[in-house]
Amino acid sequence: MPASFPRLGLLGALCSIVPLLHASEPTTDAALIEKGRYVAQLGDCIACHTGPQGAPMAGGLELKTPMGTIYSTNITPDRETGIGRYSFEEFDRAMRKGVTAEGVNLYPAMPYPSYAKISEEDMRALYAYLMHGVQPVTQANTPSAMSWPFNQRWGLSLWNWAFLDDAPFTPSSDADPVINRGAYLVQGLGHCGACHTPRGIAFQEKAMSEAGRSGQFYLAGETVEQWQALSLRNLWTVEDTVQLLKTGQNRFATVSGSMTDVIHHSTQHFSDDDLLAIASYLKSLPAGKDDLPMPDSERPLAAPVDLYSSRGGLGYAQFCSDCHRKDGSGVPGMFPPLAGNPTVASANPSTLLHITLTGWKTAQTATHSRVYTMPGFAQLEDREIAEILSFVRSSWGNQGSSIDAGQVKKLRQRIEAGNGPATTFVSPRLADMLAAPNAEQVVRGMRLHLETRKLLPANVGNQLNCTSCHLNAGTVADGSPFVGVSAFFPSYAPRAGKVIGLEERINGCFRRSMNGKPLPPDSADMQAMVAYFDWMKNNTRPQDKVAGRGVGKVDPALKPDPENGRKVYARQCAVCHGENGEGLRNSAGEMLFPPLWGDESFNIGAG
């Protein structure tokens, strides 16, 4: 069973620390308190010791382990429910040896084996900050709920005897001072090994540093609460690691899971010197035998050859390519690349599966203040997810193994992801086109909707594709879907003042929405587009009402408000379409998200 200590942030779970009456009065030196504030950021205290919607450092965060549940404790200086009566000596012993002032053993969900390496200077600063820089909060601690025999704390004395090395950090005489500083931060305050180092049969970290016979295991990767914490050994360049820790993303990846909290609360606040030290130390660690080589981000990328000829490829085109793009490059600063992404290619696909089922969000940082989210896709069947992720793991140079439906089902059950929200709209699966008797024609019709401008340059006079209005090639509820549409043609068109067929309706979009030229009604491409509509007709009859048709209802009571509209646009739209509606292009000048005005956008509307 893999270790599963979630979050494992500083002070992890100072379980059962009970305020005592014989504390010594700590210093109130302002400089020391401010230094302690930074030490607390280095250790990410707040991430573990702040519950959902709770007061900072007041505890209450649920920490699930294979042995039961622990709740982080109140480490504010409240004298009744916090640690306000702790002397420095008592605090120091809890931090280094995992023993409270009462002599009660702490569970090693609190990574005191790492904190043993903290210098006395930093420990005193941290103590000063917690006692005088944190607002006291009266909040009783929630008792832990560990199963037998793990609820017998006396056994932790044996665990400490076997696994705890409480010797302080010793810098290497052979290492550069920058690397030594990085080693101190990573091994001690940062407690990176708590998540990134494999654990043994007693859930101990197999190594606390790269030294010695077991040093090969240090930071070699581990599964934590169904997330795969990657191997950090020589993972990226120093510059790439600094960028990730500072901003939550780099050219290869974006953080996920509880690492978003680590970036938000902790590493983005590190000094540039400390970020450089950490990155230099991690770069100095030799890669493990199973670690993937750092990808070449400079190589040109192209859409995989089986993008439109495989079930996984078509699933990717439908559900993923809008953000991650057909070439897997993503959108810098917004949506992560999948090409060369270590989460995608990892031998253990837990994080990839977890994100796909439950969704994802970026870390909020000073550099990237806007949080981007990805919806979960639990509504997809296990087989569909397996097909899509297997495609992703084998495309754009990725060399990950395939995923089967059983793996998806197993993780879905473990994380209780469910099957997504109930809906009356059934999104057609583009992958099912391959089973149609005229599959080649239907797929061509779908591509003409996704890549209209590229495939029909003589007929499109702006930067739009059909999917600019008809989301995901017309498969999204309230995104002007094509489901059942062909059943309603021929029909009377008020704008034309006559009954028109589907071909003429499609050409109305080419003339007006796309500011272009119509397709000949009997051309192969027009017939392919009609075939795609017919494929989505299913059993719809002309008199039927199709759930999700159109673009949703607009409240007629809304009053035009240009000033408020300007604010809403800046908050919700500008990031993709530009501050002035000019659209967003990639580094090659290709339009990623279309402009909203002018010759490159709408002309006089469809219909």
Question: Mean pLDDT lowest for which of 282-291, 341-350, 390-399?
Answer: 282-291
180: pLDDT strictly greater than 90: yes
pLDDT digits (tens, 9 = 90+) for 594-605: 999 888 887 677
Cα distance between the two ends of the chain? 59
Reported as a pLDDT band with limits 50, 70 and 90, residue 3 is very low
CATH number of 311-414: 1.10.760.10
Query: How far lies 549's CA from each of 234, 448, 490, in Å?
Result: 51, 21, 18
Reported as a pLDDT band with limits 50, 70 and 90, residue 388 is very high
* Cα distance between residue 467 and residue 480, in whole Å: 9
pLDDT digits (tens, 9 = 90+) for 318-332: 999 999 999 999 999
Domain ranges of the chain: 30-155, 177-284, 311-414, 432-535, 562-593
Indicate the class that CATH gives domain 432-535. mainly alpha
Would you state the pLDDT for residue 5? 37
Question: Mean pLDDT lowest for which of 292-296, 357-361, 504-508, 533-537?
Answer: 292-296
* Cα distance between residue 212 and residue 190, in whole Å: 21
Compare 201 and 136 and report the one with higher pLDDT: 136
Nearest residue to 291 (alpha-carbon basis) of 254, 339, 252, 342: 342
27: pLDDT strictly greater than 60: no
User: Do the Cβ atoms of 318 and 379 come closer than 8 Å?
Assistant: no
Would you state the pLDDT for residue 211? 92
What is the pTM for the complete model shown? 0.88
Section 433-445 average pLDDT: 98
Would you state the pLDDT for residue 433? 98
Would you state the pLDDT for residue 173? 87
444: pLDDT strictly greater than 90: yes
Q: What is the dihedral of CA 175, 181, 187, 191, to 10 degrees?
A: -160
pLDDT digits (tens, 9 = 90+) for 392-435: 999 999 999 999 999 999 999 999 999 988 888 989 999 999 99
- SS3 at position 71: strand
% of the chain exceeding 90 in pLDDT = 71
Would you state the pLDDT for residue 299? 59
355: pLDDT strictly greater than 50: yes
16: pLDDT strictly greater than 60: no
Would you state the pLDDT for residue 18? 39
500: pLDDT strictly greater than 70: yes
User: Do the Cβ atoms of 314 and 384 come closer than 8 Å?
Assistant: no
Would you state the pLDDT for residue 293? 74
pLDDT digits (tens, 9 = 90+) for 54-93: 999 999 898 887 788 889 999 999 999 999 999 999 999 9
2: pLDDT strictly greater than 50: no
Provide the sign of the torsion angle of the four alpha carbons 115, 116, 122, 125, taken in this order. positive
DSSP β-bridge partners for residue 331: 335
Q: How many residues are present in the chain?
A: 607
Compare 368 and 154 and report the one with higher pLDDT: 368
Reported as a pLDDT band with limits 50, 70 and 90, residue 273 is very high
Query: Using alpha carbons only, what angle is made at residue 187 by residues 365 and 45, rounded to the nearest 5 degrees?
Result: 45
Nearest residue to 47 (alpha-carbon basis) of 362, 262, 365: 262
Section 458-473 average pLDDT: 94
* Cα distance between residue 267 and residue 71, in whole Å: 24
Would you state the pLDDT for residue 9? 40
- Between strands 227-229 and 62-65, the pairing is unpaired
- Widest distance between CA atoms in the chain: 92
Reported as a pLDDT band with limits 50, 70 and 90, residue 15 is very low
Question: Mean pLDDT lowest for which of 114-128, 146-160, 373-387, 559-573?
Answer: 146-160
213: pLDDT strictly greater than 60: yes
Q: What is the mean pLDDT of the chain?
A: 90
Q: Which residues contact 499 (CB under 8 A, 6 or more apart)?
A: 490, 491, 492, 493
Would you state the pLDDT for residue 13? 39
Would you state the pLDDT for residue 478? 93
Domain covering 177-284 assigned CATH 1.10.760 in the classification: yes
